[in-house]
Amino acid sequence: MDILFDNLPGLLIAIPLLGAFLTPLLSRAGDSVRNTWVLIITGLSSVCGLLVASRVLETGTIVYTFGVNTVSNIIPPDSGGIPIRIIFTIDPMNAFMLIIAAIVGFCITLYSVSSMEKLSGKDGFFTLVLLLIAGVYGMIATGDLFNFFVFLEISSLAGAALVAYRIDKGVAAEAGLKYAALSTIGGMLFLVGVGLLFAQYNSLNMAVIADRMQLTGLDIIAFVLFFTALAMKCGAVPMHFWTPDSYAMAPSAITAFLVVSSQASLYALFRVCFTLYGGQINPLTVGWVIIILGILSMFIGVTMAIPQKDVKRLMAYHAVSQTGYMLLGVGVGLAALSSTCLSQSIGIMALKGGLFHIMNHALYKGLLFLTAGVIFYRCGTRNLNQLGGLGHNMKWTMVFFMIGALAIAGIPPFNGFASKLMIYESTFLFNPLLAVIAMVVSILTLASFVKVFHSMFMGPKLPEYEDVKEAPTPMLIAMGILAILVVLFGIFPQQVVDALVAPAASALIDYQGYITAVLGGA
Partner 1 sequence: MIDNLPFLVVAITILLGLYAILLRKDLIKMIMGISLLESGVNLFLIALGYRWDSIAPIFTGAPSLAMVMPTVQALTLTSIVIGVATLALLLSMVMIIYRYYRTTDVREVTKLQG
Partner 2 sequence: MIDSFTLSTGFGAWNAVFWVIAFVIACIIGWLIWSRGEKTYDSSGGATAPFLSGNKEPEKAAVHIRAGNLYWGYTDALSGYYRFIKPFHTGNLSDYFLAYLFVTALVLIVVVVLK
Footprint of partner 2 (CB under 8 A): 177-178, 181-182, 185-186, 189, 220-221, 223-225, 227-228, 231-232, 238-239, 241-242, 245, 281-282, 284-286, 289, 300, 303-304, 306-307, 309, 345-346, 349, 384-389, 412-413, 417-418, 421-422, 425-426, 429, 447, 451-452, 454-455, 459-463, 490-495, 497
Residue 176 interacts with partner 1 (CB under 8 A): yes or no: yes
With CB under 8 A as the contact rule, the residue among 26, 50, 85, 146 that binds partner 1 is 146
Q: Name 208's Cβ contacts closer than 8 Å, sequence gap at least 6.
A: 82, 83, 201, 518, 519
Shortest CB 247 distance to partner 1, Å: 11
Smallest distance from the beta carbon of 345 to partner 2, in angstroms?
5
Query: Considering the complex, what minimum distance in angstroms separates the CB of residue 434 from partner 2?
Result: 15
Q: Report the site for partner 1 in 341-360 (rule: CB under 8 A).
A: none
Any contact of residue 136 with partner 1 (CB under 8 A)?
A: no
Nearer to partner 1, 92 or 186 (CB): 186
Cα angle, residue 250 at apex, residues 246 and 252 outer, rounded to 5°: 125
* Min dist. Cβ of residue 195 to partner 1 (A): 5
Q: What is the distance between the alpha carbons of residues 74 and 88, in angstroms, rounded to a whole number?
A: 10
Q: Which of 62, 209, 249, 302 binds partner 1 (CB under 8 A)?
A: 249
Nearer to partner 2, 7 or 386 (CB): 386
Nearest residue (CB) to partner 2, 97 versus 239: 239
CA 24 centroid distance within chain: 27
C-alpha to C-alpha distance for 142 and 86, rounded to whole angstroms = 8
* DSSP classification of residue 498: I
Nearest C-alpha neighbor of 272 from the set 139, 156, 150: 139
CA–CA dist 12, 132 (Å, integer) = 13
Least distance (Å) between residue 192 CB and partner 1: 6
Cβ-contact 331, 287 below 8 angstroms:
yes
Q: Which of 487, 502, 511, 317 is nearest to 411 (CA)?
A: 487
Q: Tell me how many degrees the CA angle 103-109-113 measures, rounded to the nearest 5.
A: 150
Could you tell me if 140 and 98 are in contact, meaning their C-beta atoms sit under 8 angstroms apart? Answer: yes
Q: Which residues bind partner 1 (CB under 8 A)?
A: 146, 149-150, 153, 157, 160-161, 164, 167, 169-171, 173-178, 180-181, 184-185, 187-188, 191-192, 195, 198-199, 204, 244-245, 248-249, 308
